[in-house]
Amino acid sequence: MTDSRIQLTEEDITGIQADAIVNAANNSLLGGGGVDGAIHRVAGPELLAQCRTLGGCPTGEARITKGYNLPAAWVIHTVGPVWRGGTQREPELLARCYRNCFSLVREHGLRSVAFPAISTGVYGYPKEEAARIAIQEARRALAENENLARVLFVCFNSDTRLAYEKALTEP
């Protein structure tokens, strides 16, 4: 059953009008390349200033900050696992990223959240497996949180979008 509250789009997450956008960060939370770099560039220096106060973030966990110059009011920073072949608890850690992001969404009473394809860029996680975990956790979160109205998966290239479209067709 495809839940209409789960949506896909192919664009830059920094322009998304959702209550929160998720950042695929690193353990330092002090910025980087990829989506992390884009989010910090648009949010502005106040985001980094707030991140400095957080003392980093372990892999699999999530932290929330304001969005500053972003259209989204909040940024949820999560640190995905680096893909090392699948024998270092990568699937479990990636699932924890999504669950911890959805916990912050619930704690802050947010109604919409947009995710990039966490860990599938620099961190090398296979797109199809990562998308399967993302969709599975979104379905779980939507079933558990009636206040959550929209989960948006923001793909940055067609390979990623195809991976999510495939994952959405799976039970």
Contact set with ligand APR (CB under 6 A): 12-14, 24-26, 32-38, 80, 116-123, 154, 156-157, 160
Give the CA distances from residue 11 to residues 66, 105, 153, 154, 161, in Å, rounded to whole numbers and listed in that order: 22, 22, 10, 6, 10
* Angle (nearest 5°) at CA 74 between 124 and 4: 70
Q: Least distance (Å) from ligand APR to the CB of residue 84?
A: 13
Give the 3-state secondary structure percentages of the chain, helix then strand then coil, rounded to 5: 40, 20, 40
How many CB atoms are closer than 10 A to CB 13? 27
- Between residues 41 and 66, which has the closer beta carbon with respect to ligand APR? 41
- Minimum distance, C-beta of residue 66 to ligand APR, in the bound complex (Å): 19
Given the residues 3, 12, 19, 36, select the one marked as catalytic: 36
Beta carbon nearer to ligand APR, 83 or 145: 83
Nearest distance in Å: CB 144, ligand APR = 25
Per the annotation, the verdict on 36 as an active-site residue is: yes
CB 51 → ligand APR: shortest distance, Å? 11
| Residue 102 or 125 with smaller CB distance to ligand APR | 125
Task: Round to the nearest angstrom and report the end-to-end CA distance of the chain.
Answer: 7
Q: In this complex, which beta carbon is closest to ligand APR, that of residue 24 or of residue 43?
A: 24
Sign of CA dihedral 96, 99, 104, 110: positive
- Active centre residues (catalytic): 36
